[in-house]
Amino acid sequence: MRIRIALAALLVLVTPTLKAQDADTTTILGAMKAELARSQVAFLTERVQPYFLSYEITDDQVVNVTSSFGKLQTSQKTRSRQLDIDLRVGNTHLDNTHGSHEDGSTPIFVPIEPDPDALRSVLWYYTDLKYKQAVQQLAAVTTDVQVNVAQEDKSDDFSPAPAAQHFEKLKVMNVDQKAWEEKVRKYTAPFARYGDIYGATATLMADIESRWYVNSDGSAIMVSRPLYYLYVSAQIKADDGMDLPRYESFFASEPGGLPSDQAVLKTVDQMIKDLQALRAAPIVDPYTGPAILSGRAAGVFFHEVFGHRIEGHRQKDENEGQTFKKMVGEKLLPDNFSVISDPTLQRLGQSELAGYYDYDNEGVKGQRVVVLDHGVFKNFLMSRSPIEGFPNSNGHGRRQQGNAPVARQSNLIVVVDHPVSRAELKQQLIEEVKKQNQKFGLFFDDIQGGFTLTSRFTPNAFNVLPIMVYRIYPDGREELVRGVNLIGTPLTAFSKIVAGDGEVATFNGVCGAESGSVPVSASSPDLLVSQIEVAKKEKSNARGPILPAPIK
């Protein structure tokens, strides 16, 4: 009766809602809804019936233009549409997904032409296949539950969420590909004048991701999100064999939001100066002591140290370290520190945020989550997989196509009340250097990214990969150094955060984890940490080029 009532309500809503949508959305959502309704009725005759079914079709329009040393390497434009199906048998307490967060299936491509018959044929075939797999999975899950020890977290496998209706216009790629071919040529040409710089590239990566989503709860959603990245990178090799990279990246939601040619070329000139300086810079030996993390470095630091460990599904998985699982209500940082995850924010100050979205991949509206409130830990990031004490999603169920959604980060923002000035923060660092009787402190100015290990079977640690690092001496003098990796363990690192300034910077990037790669941002002011640990960066034993460069 529940299925039939839901179906009747669904059919009433379809026609008037879709009249206002573009032709692709009308055709695609109509076919998805029709096939979902037909499947629900057909499964009523089966002994094991799905209690939840959703379809998501993702359209990717991608332009990739890359140059090297002033010449074009690639210029491609592609388009594809991929289907993801979430079919659950059993019940919300125990279903076929129990204990699993990885889909592992091969991609399911659907026609990019909106033909309802062709689309319904793919939906029909793969729904049938998913159903048969789900029944087998449920049998295995039921057996495992009977023979294994009881899990510590006894929460359900799936949580309810309100039905949502949301429709956006399908955005179309508007990149002038020929113009960008000339731009990226221009951006990498200056590197060719230096015989000791190698691997210099500039890449425009434009991606419009549009998603159509329907589920058996009555949701029907269409969202379209443009992402435009410009990457510039180059490398140089020191005499001791160490490879020294320099990266710059820019993000915008429209091509016009990317920086001007003049601004990019100014950045390229600075990159060249930095590479030459890094080549001659001394190596830092392993060190523990005070440091300042720039806003971008601090953002990545929080993303790796904290962000991954507050993703809800990790609190349920007994293979995970569950660092903060029992710390809800406890004080983790000073009173003036808060941390927010907010996918509803498109901008922060002058920066656009890559982790913005309206609805997640489970049909739940993205929500602002205060994770840390004035130093006290309050919330986890949640998908529709509940954990004890957190029974509902807060709109952070995310995935790359072909993967099962899990709780993931979006826009992570570190907020510092009563910040000090940048000059005061440096002075506090110098005072900490003297107090600890150190020869110097460190300033991490720019980074390339980082990674973290969260399982119980590996050291529960993180590694942030800096590029531009400076020694700061007690007299205020700064010296560029190289060969540094920022390492540590989360609880120790958190306990050493002292103060922050008021100038927020943002790192936009792509984060890879169990559910694939998703766009994220991390924003923070500069932070003073009373004690960090650095290790030597790996280096190659290979000599630099024996032959002189052909062009100087």
* Residue 334 sits in the same domain as residue 450: yes
* Residue 384 sits in the same domain as residue 512: yes
| CA–CA gap between residue 236 and residue 197 (Å, rounded) | 5
Residue 232 lies in a domain: no
3-state secondary structure of 48: coil
Residue 542 lies in a domain: no
pLDDT at 10: 32
* Chain mean position to CA 60: 17
Residue 503 lies in a domain: yes
Which of 210, 227, 244 represents a domain boundary (last residue)?
Answer: 227
| CA–CA gap between residue 126 and residue 105 (Å, rounded) | 11
* Residue 95 sits in the same domain as residue 15: yes
* Chain mean position to CA 88: 26
Residue 218 lies in a domain: yes
| CA–CA gap between residue 240 and residue 234 (Å, rounded) | 18
| Secondary structure (DSSP) of 282-347 | PBPPSEEEEEEE-HHHHHHHHHHHTGGGGBTHHHH-TTB--TTTT-TTSB-S-TTEEEEE-TT-SE
* Residue 206 sits in the same domain as residue 299: no
Phi and psi angles of residue 532, each rounded to the nearest 5 degrees, phi first: -125, 170
Residue 42 lies in a domain: yes
**Residues composing the chain:** 552
Answer whether 513's CB lies under 8 Å from 408's CB: yes
- The DSSP 8-state label assigned to residue 501 in this structure reads B
* Residue 356 sits in the same domain as residue 487: yes
pLDDT at 89: 97
The parent domain of residue 523 ranges over 287-536
Which of 180, 210, 227 represents a domain boundary (last residue)?
Answer: 227
How deeply is 548 buried, as exposed, middle or buried, from its count of CB atoms within 10 A (0-12, 13-18, 19+)?
exposed
What CATH number does residue 222 fall under?
Answer: 3.30.2290
Q: Give the mean pLDDT per block of 10 residues along the chain (552 residues).
A: 32 38 85 96 95 97 97 96 97 91 74 94 97 95 82 89 95 94 98 90 97 97 97 93 93 96 98 95 92 94 91 83 87 96 97 97 98 97 96 97 95 97 97 96 87 68 85 96 86 90 95 92 97 79 65 58
* Residues 6+ positions from 547 with CB-CB distance below 8 Å: none
| Secondary structure (DSSP) of 90-151 | B-SSSBTTTT-----PPPEEE-SS--HHHHHHHHHHHHHHHHHHHHHHHHHHHHHHHHSPPP
Query: How are beta strands 287-293 and 527-536 bridged, if at all?
Result: antiparallel
pLDDT at 345: 98
Answer whether 396's CB lies under 8 Å from 365's CB: no
3-state secondary structure of 88: strand
pLDDT at 423: 96
Radius of gyration (C-alpha) of the chain in whole angstroms:
26
Nearest in space to 353 (alpha carbons), one of 364, 363, 345, 362: 345
Determine if the pTM surpasses 0.95.
no
Residue 418 lies in a domain: yes
pLDDT at 1: 32
Answer whether 40's CB lies under 8 Å from 55's CB: no
Query: How are beta strands 220-237 and 165-167 bridged, if at all?
Result: parallel
**Cα four-point dihedral sign 400, 402, 403, 405:** positive
* Residue 477 sits in the same domain as residue 393: yes
* Residue 192 sits in the same domain as residue 310: no
| CA–CA gap between residue 530 and residue 518 (Å, rounded) | 32
pLDDT at 511: 92
* Residue 158 sits in the same domain as residue 58: yes
Going from the C-alpha of 438 to that of each of 54, 290, 528, the distances in angstroms are 59, 9, 16
Residue 336 lies in a domain: yes
Number of domains in the chain: 2
pLDDT at 12: 31
* Residue 443 sits in the same domain as residue 302: yes
Answer whether 167's CB lies under 8 Å from 221's CB: yes
Cα first-last separation, the chain: 78
Q: Structure tokens of 55?
A: 């379809």
* Residue 363 sits in the same domain as residue 466: yes
Which of 180, 196, 227 represents a domain boundary (last residue)?
Answer: 227
Residue 251 lies in a domain: no
